Structure 1
């Protein structure tokens, strides 16, 4: 197994002078060197051939002892020095101070095909940033992260990738509901892959400490290695960087809303400067279309990170990044101009995305009214988001409103909830929709093809992940393999996987792991 190592981060940025692996405050440093805890009996559960290929590894490499040892944390790859990042952040809107990689250890940077990747183990043991935790992860959360990152990639959502999923052979104590009933679970390790794991909170750390020398060093490093097309100097360079982060973040959020993904923990330390989805904790998929839904038990009361609030939270987080970068710019106005544009840009991109989901190639100003009325209708009774939009592609220009309604009615969880008023509103909406698609140039089949390319048939529903976890806990990984293969082609019909194109079963409505989750991992 041969990796092309590149150590830009640790060679150009200052390290924590202490290598004591104990929870503590780390000053004037970007990271701390730390070795993964050697697992007692590691074994490979699954690996992505595509991600391996991206970093320069072959299918044969995946089966090698070197792969097992390196990506379980058993051995340190030659010419590398693993490290944990130091960063800060706002958690649930409150300043939390220093946070850092509490259960993640960066192995190294690698280069392949003119692309740079950072390889990171999640669940490989404690770091100086673990605080009161142990730095390990369990099979339950590791499966959810491993599958979801890859599912998101194939959906076209910007994301980290998953290289490998391994058992450590060790038991990890977790209180899954935070209710005083801890139990031992199987330990696991995921190797995550991203351009870097630099976060909004990385800049907040140095700015909050008034460590402007290292703040500038971080900004210059980030632009040099990850935004090399930004060629300006001085203040202009930092503004260009901030503008690009706002745009990629906006793009990511539009994709989340398109497929019904709810992150669950949009703290500033969980926001990537690359505009990619990172840190898959208590995430969830919007099954019934409910803009107030959050998968996070910790957020149950205030619902700060609910589905409908994700765009506003992204903007709030960008304000915190702007505050962190301000010492490098010393002028609030250009930052405010970029931030002020975010909401207008989002509305424009959201409208365009929804027009595409509805099959509108010709864009009309009145579409916004039709879309608004639809999102209100979808929330009157439980309606499955994925099934609704997928089946909507089967509506034809010649359909009556009744026929069109019947085409999507499988999306309702309980048809008995559709009273006369709601049915009337739906039929009225479909009359308007039928008029609208008859203004389109595309034929029915062409429109369906276009709609099916952005309205997925298969997503990683919460109950599917839970079934996979329960099987894997018994040592059966066949369902994990099945879901992994299915989720690689979420927009294809895949008749052999038709059983997964269905609503959440009743037993999963309130089941732990299927409805809401804690941050426990």
Structure 2
């Protein structure tokens, strides 16, 4: 087991929400069906060369914008059953199924300018067009797109759950931008698929928020999100559990070729190289989570990306008060995914990946895979210490740094200091103020920590360590460096709840304020300050819990 005090997070680079639209949807149902075969994608789009930008300029019209599902459809057999009913699916990676368009009028709530312009080569003005709104809400399928629902399984809360899959998501296709970067576009909340767990019909979304049998109608919303890939550990697990070895090999080879180009495809140890990289990257991802006090909330293997990016974090939470037992997910009765246990869960999930890959490994390679996984704790610990050292403005690494960090976290736990603002206040307070224990009221999180009887002792250790940084490291440089590492704003649950309550009244002003604020989380912003985003959380925030259905 890894130390429970270890905690961290980073920006969710790799996935990005493009647009959020709201309206009402429709779905339908039916029984189980047979297995899969190859699928001819050519009947679904024109012969135009798809998926590539036709110029280096951003497009002011979607008529000039092209993307495609071609690569995925050519690579794998698809489910031959076109009818959209819930069933067990075998022998394939995807089912072809169209999104369910909203019956009522659709309203575009928010759009990411950076994703549109920097990743998708679209001018932000495109978002004002009806064509774009229909596209991001699932109301209109673009030429070149064959919407796909992905088949995968997973271990949920430590138990194999069998087939899961994209129960309400549709992969629209892939876009290659002017820089040659590939991005997959996926709708979330876009209607029933063969992998849905609840058959519904009608205009509204039926949601059991607390999983207690009390299903309620809620307004529907769809998000178009992008990532390099949506394959996850469960993508391989379902094939291994079903004994589909050749399809497993085909999928892993595809993932390596597309996303791990530094791995030699002719090397017999390529699956070990792949596993080793995923182990390293996953350890670093979770260390990054911990560094910003982020709890994913539902760390099932079907929610762990093979590219080690943050996906499917519905019941997540950023800690307010530092607590290694923090559990944001009301569905997690046994606190399996509490923030202090995330590193251990990461290792558990990687072990499930190892077992899935065993079908592709000989006995000797299987032993090597075990040794690779044994290196996970050291990889995590090293990254964790590096990140927290940076949060404290430290240069290099000294033997006492681990103790300095652990000591601080213990003081924070004892005083229930605010995680985000404590590190931010350490970034803003001067060396002299700390030395004199002169902590202004504006540094309220640091004042709270200062009530601990051992605070002065820790400060002395910290200031002594800073003096050993470098002769050229000024206090001003230290504060600038730390303010670039420790965010002033994170998406706390109380902030999201406030925006949600207003949105239910068709007031999306706080959604837009949050979006604006979180574009620049390290910079002090007037509107965010007026909204209290860096102030003490309201008392009612302590009672907030979210669930997998939130």
TM-score by length of 2: 0.83
Partner of 2:355: 323
Q: How many residues align?
A: 478
Deviation at 1:423, TM superposition (A): 2.7
Unaligned stretches of 5+ residues in structure 2: 1-61
Residue 475 (structure 2) aligned to one of 444, 458, 463? 444
Residue 369 (structure 2) aligned to one of 335, 343, 353? 335
More helix by share: 1
User: 2:181 matched to 1:115?
Assistant: yes
Partner of 1:467: 498
Deviation at 1:274, TM superposition (A): 0.9
Residue 8 (structure 1) aligned to one of 35, 52, 71? 71
Partner of 2:337: 305
How far apart, CA to CA, are the structure 2 residues paired with 1:448 and 1:183?
49
Contact between 1:72 and 1:189, CA under 8 Å: does it hold in 2?
A: yes
Partner of 2:34: none
TM-score by length of 1: 0.88
Deviation at 1:247, TM superposition (A): 1.9
SS at match of 1:398: helix
How far apart, CA to CA, are the structure 1 residues paired with 2:476 and 2:525?
18
Residue 385 (structure 1) aligned to one of 393, 411, 419? 419
Matches within 5 A, 1:306-455: 306-330=338-362, 331-399=365-433, 401=435, 403=437, 410-411=444-445, 423-441=452-470, 442-455=473-486
Between 243-252 and 404-413, report the one with greater CA deviation.
404-413
Matches within 5 A, 1:238-317: 238-299=271-332, 301-317=333-349
How far apart, CA to CA, are the structure 2 residues paired with 1:32 and 1:297?
32
**Distance 1:261-1:134 versus aligned 2 partners, 3 A rule:** farther
Contact between 2:95 and 2:150, CA under 8 Å: does it hold in 1?
A: yes
Deviation at 1:177, TM superposition (A): 2.5
Residue 72 (structure 1) aligned to one of 119, 137, 144? 137
Q: Stretches of 4+ moved more than 6 A in 1?
A: none
Contact between 1:103 and 1:134, CA under 8 Å: does it hold in 2?
A: no
Residue 491 (structure 1) aligned to one of 514, 522, 540? 522
Unaligned stretches of 5+ residues in structure 1: 137-169
**Distance 1:135-1:332 versus aligned 2 partners, 3 A rule:** farther
How far apart, CA to CA, are the structure 2 residues paired with 1:209 and 1:233?
26
SS at match of 1:308: helix
CA deviations 1:484-508 (Å, max 9, x no partner) are 1111001112244223111211122
Deviation at 1:174, TM superposition (A): 2.0
Contact between 2:66 and 2:144, CA under 8 Å: does it hold in 1?
A: no
Deviation at 1:397, TM superposition (A): 3.3
Partner of 2:247: 214
